[in-house]
Amino acid sequence: MKRSPRAEAAVILGRVLRSGAYSNVLLAGLGTGPDAALVRRLVYGTLRQLGRIDRILADAVDRSLSDVEPAVLDLLRVGAWELRLGGGAPHAAVHEAVEAARKASGERAAGFVNAVLRKVQIGKEELPAGLPGKAIELGVDPWVYRNLIDAWGQPEAEAFLAASLQPAPRTARSRSVGAGAGRPIPGIAGAVETGADLKGSEPMDPSSVAVGLAVGARPGMVILDLAAAPGGKTLHLHDQLEGRGLVIGADRHARRLATAARRFERLGVDIPLVVADGRHPPFATASFDRVLLDAPCTGLGTLRRRPEIRHRLQPDSPGRAGALQRQLLSAALRLVKPDGLVVYAVCTVFPEETTEVVANARAEPPAGLPGRRAGNGWLLGPHLTGSDGMFISLVRP
């Protein structure tokens, strides 16, 4: 790492906010060690509380934040989070931000950063009263908070959002019995929490493992994963068939499907992959025992791992996603045999994408998983199961 940790964190923050990158992807390439751990903590912390940090900075800057040079603003954001919310060392936070500003933009920028962060350090925060202030504290726009309150009630909405502000543990799926050490996740067979890579295991959140279990794949079945990339759940289904049966992975994103193909090749696994639009799948009617539809969604359930999602959502995002999900579900139902089923799953918790999508279908929740019932489906989440937010429903044709 050529830059100081705080300078590196600011660069990554800028790429996430202005280039559409995902924080977990960028941070995965940092390696290990204390500096890498600090960068991750700074980036994730700043993204989780970006709205709150910008309010703090707005009180300390004598101009609109939009008028501040973007690279300098990134340094201020990282520094302000560490000073006010991150519990970091004040001297290091200010010094590294000032030095990075000096290298990037000169003495004037360095003086500006020093003055602003000194004001941040001694300032006092006043959040608005009521729902707007609580939404800021929980790191989301008020419309997100209201949506979840309307769906679940205030206590559970706050529990989910508060849990989503916490770091996610490192988890994996063991591909075979005895594949590696790790703390088993209660109620989700094969899911383990671990602090290191495990031989014979694949990185995976327990909620995603739960989706694969809900399919009920058995040797001899023919199964389609209709939105397969990047392939983790497809591989899980393949493993459950124990070499007898067939899993096909389909996805409309050729590049992401190519990533899955390389993953399978590395593992020595042969799984047919097809580039296809799930709304118009190129398969015969009633030809599969199971179809897994892990549908594209807003991803709100993954806030612990991808905190920038909260800054990319708009009030109409859940509704637009729900419209697409209904089209995909309708297409998936045409592909299963009369006695088969579609497993509908989304890593989000908005009702427009979960309970409302399957409300009028022949649907029921899967059995034997931790979490709670939600309409015609089952809900897992960081506040319920210590895992990502996930909705799963078994839908029959």
275 Cβ neighbours under 8 A, 6+ residues apart: 250, 251, 252, 253, 254, 257
- Contact 297/317 with Cβ under 8 angstroms? no
CA 130 – CA 153 distance, rounded (Å): 15
DSSP 174: E
- Contact 299/306 with Cβ under 8 angstroms? yes
Q: Which residue(s) pair with 370 in the sheet?
A: none
163 Cβ neighbours under 8 A, 6+ residues apart: 304, 381, 382, 383
DSSP-H helix ranges across 165-316: 206-215, 232-241, 254-267
- Contact 322/343 with Cβ under 8 angstroms? no
CA 177 – CA 190 distance, rounded (Å): 8
- Contact 344/329 with Cβ under 8 angstroms? yes
CB atoms within 10 A of CB 86: 18
DSSP 185: P
Q: What is the DSSP string of 258-273?
A: HHHHHHHHHHT----E
Helix (H) or strand (E) holding 183: strand 183-184
297 as an active site residue: the answer is no
CA 212 – CA 241 distance, rounded (Å): 12
254 Cβ neighbours under 8 A, 6+ residues apart: 275
Residue given tokens 């799984």 in the structure block: 271
Active-site position among 78, 209, 247, 347: 347
- Contact 212/202 with Cβ under 8 angstroms? no
Residues annotated as catalytic are 347
